[in-house]
Amino acid sequence: MATTPILQCVSHSLTKLNTEAPRHEPNTAALEPPSSSILSLIPKCTSLRELKQIQAYTIKTHQNNPTVLTKLINFCTSNPTIASMDHAHRMFDKIPQPDIVLFNTMARGYARFDDPLRAILLCSQVLCSGLLPDDYTFSSLLKACARLKALEEGKQLHCLAVKLGVGDNMYVCPTLINMYTACNDVDAARRVFDKIGEPCVVAYNAIITSCARNSRPNEALALFRELQESGLKPTDVTMLVALSSCALLGALDLGRWIHEYVKKNGFDQYVKVNTALIDMYAKCGSLDDAVSVFKDMPRRDTQAWSAMIVAYATHGHGSQAISMLREMKKAKVQPDEITFLGILYACSHTGLVEEGYEYFHSMTHEYGIVPSIKHYGCMIDLLGRAGRLEEACKFIDELPIKPTPILWRTLLSSCSSHGNVEMAKLVIQRIFELDDSHGGDYVILSNLCARNGRWDDVNHLRKMMVDKGALKVPGCSSIEVNNVVHEFFSGDGVHSTSTILHHALDELVKELKLAGYVPDTSLVFYADIEDEEKEIVLRYHSEKLAITYGLLNTPPGTTIRVVKNLRVCVDCHNAAKFISLIFGRQIILRDVQRFHHFKDGKCSCGDYW
DNA sequence: TGAGGCTGTT
């Protein structure tokens, strides 16, 4: 990892500090108080020229007075359109003995300009110069560790913060929770939260986000309720994190409840909260509600339009997504990189190849947006889905950046859906050159070989997968019933009602077969088991379990909403169509890529996925 | 008090 030497430097400083007591040097810079007129002038600057004039005047009259310089530096770090961090750093270098506030201001600036390494370097300078780091310093350092996913350094900082008496500081705790969450240690984040005597609303916001992002849906929702009962007043950020939790979990009922709360407490004046509502409704499968929130918004920014475009795109309404872009331009709102991701996504899921190319070019040429890896991914998907596999391969080879395994994986899925074994084998070679630990790759190719009766290849891939120790992410589907999110894993024997559930699913499959459903056993990875056994492996797929749970535990006629962590399998997709027809239920299934609305035996994706 | 923590859109 490129960051190691710098992080080592921090570790070194930390060890030094742990063994020697920190010295606190008094600030010996000019102490003459600045005139209040200069201080009040700084925030009014409208250009770099004005700022430089004030700077020159300060040097002349106040000899680099730290109060004025800190205010100037703070202005630079908060106004990127007027001044740069380089300019701030030049001022900073002129100060012979910067105090802790100056260091902290600079570090915060680098963090804002998304340069965590520079922020860390500055803070380690604090440690080396013998200044006593304070709660501000720890906040910046922990934020940088979160950004760099540096768990070990984060832990050391946590220990040091405790030692220096700021471990339970109200500003440090949320950054600690955030750092542990970013480093995938949710338990540690939870321990930090539990140690706070009286958590403030920001700590609650941090821990709710932590649980929601790490598949702990019910814990996130319980904490949200606890926050309400504690008498603390939720803020607009609480609404954002609670809504994004619902979106991640597909918890529509709770989302609707929060929407009511938002309206009652005036949070619907915030553009960001409305955007989070659009996203929540879209991700929970209710496009109509997303549209209605968008229509009622008093003001719409780029993010709001983008959220709506992405909503239409993921629900398979490609042409609506594109017409939204036209309306957005009419409303004189500038599209950004996310807007175009939504548009490219819409094109790829609707088969609009030529339009996709056009938007890709207008994004770069007309709007000057540099395509990211995700835009390239959309283009590969666009070509691959349409069966233009050679063209997609050429597109990857001609990229100005080094392709990642994800880009090749996108093409691999297309090879699979178009049944092109030879191409898939070539593609998997390219993937294995970069990463051979991803179990999903072996499964895709193996399923494709199995469908073509190439059992030797299937066995070979299976052996390779075991030898390499490649792991497959287990399929997991969830459904919200009575405000509780129930999770099911493939072949689940964990859920409390699993015996009843398995029994019900057995009966369900019998009924589906009578209606014409034929289990697609060619999809099962194992070549050496009998067809009957294969059918059983398929039967207990997580999405089938979740749908069955929904059928058993919701009133007849209500819509069943299921969220899956991977792509839906062909057999489950087929079964869901039959279920929607036989039981007269709408099923809305969100998978890792898009939505499938099943109704009267048909799916909204038109089997184009 | 010269500087804060948690934040939505693929």
CATH at A420: 1.25.40
pLDDT digit string, tens, across residues A343-398 = 999 999 888 999 999 999 999 999 999 999 999 999 999 999 999 999 999 999 99
Task: Determine the Cα–Cα distance for residues A607 and A603; give it in Å rounded to an integer.
Answer: 7
**Residue A468 shares a structural domain with residue A486:** no
Task: Determine the Cα–Cα distance for residues A115 and A107; give it in Å rounded to an integer.
Answer: 9
**Residue A432 shares a structural domain with residue A488:** no
Q: How far is CA A491 from the centre of its chain?
A: 28
Bases of chain B within 7 A of a CB of the protein: 2-10
Residue nearest to nucleotide B8 (CA to C1'): A276
Task: Determine the Cα–Cα distance for residues A608 and A350; give it in Å rounded to an integer.
Answer: 8
Q: Which of residues 363-422 of A touch strand B (CB under 7 A)?
A: 374
**Does a structural domain hold residue A344?**
no
Domain range for A530? 477-603
**Does a structural domain hold residue A112?**
yes
Confidence band, pLDDT 50/70/90 cuts, at residue A16: low
In this complex, the nucleotide whose C1' atom is nearest to the CA atom of residue A178 is B6
Residue nearest to nucleotide B2 (CA to C1'): A67
**Residue A466 shares a structural domain with residue A510:** no
CA–C1' distance A563–B3 (Å)?
43
pLDDT digit string, tens, across residues A543-567 = 999 999 999 999 999 999 999 988 8
Residue nearest to nucleotide B3 (CA to C1'): A105
**Residue A594 shares a structural domain with residue A489:** yes
**Residue A553 shares a structural domain with residue A584:** yes
**Residue A466 shares a structural domain with residue A517:** no
- Are the C-beta atoms of residues A433 and A407 closer than 8 Å to each other? no
Task: Determine the Cα–Cα distance for residues A527 and A523; give it in Å rounded to an integer.
Answer: 10
CA–C1' distance A35–B8 (Å)?
42
**Residue A533 shares a structural domain with residue A406:** no
- Predicted pLDDT at A181: 94
In this complex, the nucleotide whose C1' atom is nearest to the CA atom of residue A280 is B8
CA–C1' distance A100–B1 (Å)?
14
Domain boundary among A174, A197, A220: A197
Q: Which of residues 514-573 of A touch strand B (CB under 7 A)?
A: none
**Does a structural domain hold residue A47?**
no
- Are the C-beta atoms of residues A388 and A420 closer than 8 Å to each other? no
Residues A411-423, mean pLDDT to the nearest whole number: 92
- Residue A512's nearest CA partner among A576, A469, A445 is A576
**Does a structural domain hold residue A365?**
no
Residues A103-116, mean pLDDT to the nearest whole number: 86
**Does a structural domain hold residue A295?**
no
Concatenate the DSSP letters of all residues of A257-291 into one string. HHHHHHHHTTGGG-HHHHHHHHHHHHHTT-HHHHH
CA–C1' distance A66–B3 (Å)?
13
Domain boundary among A451, A472, A493: A472
CB count, 10 Å around CB of A515? 11
How much of chain A, in percent, has pLDDT values that exceed 90? 51
- What DSSP character marks residue A521? G
Domain boundary among A197, A224, A249: A197
**Residue A583 DSSP SS3:** coil
Arithmetic mean of pLDDT over chain A: 87
**Residue A458 shares a structural domain with residue A543:** no
- Residue A345's nearest CA partner among A595, A144, A517, A50 is A595
Distances (CA, A) of A78 to A42, A48, A111, A112, A434: 12, 13, 11, 8, 40
Confidence band, pLDDT 50/70/90 cuts, at residue A321: very high
**Residue A482 shares a structural domain with residue A468:** no
**Does a structural domain hold residue A18?**
no
Contacts of A53 (CB under 8 A, 6+ apart): none
**Domains identified in chain A, total number:** 3
**Does a structural domain hold residue A49?**
no
Task: Determine the Cα–Cα distance for residues A179 and A2; give it in Å rounded to an integer.
Answer: 19
CA–C1' distance A149–B6 (Å)?
18
- Residue A217's nearest CA partner among A20, A475, A598, A483 is A483
Residue nearest to nucleotide B7 (CA to C1'): A237
**Residue A133 shares a structural domain with residue A100:** yes
**Residue A509 shares a structural domain with residue A407:** no
**Residue A483 shares a structural domain with residue A454:** no
Q: Which of residues 106-145 of A touch strand B (CB under 7 A)?
A: 108, 134-136, 139, 143
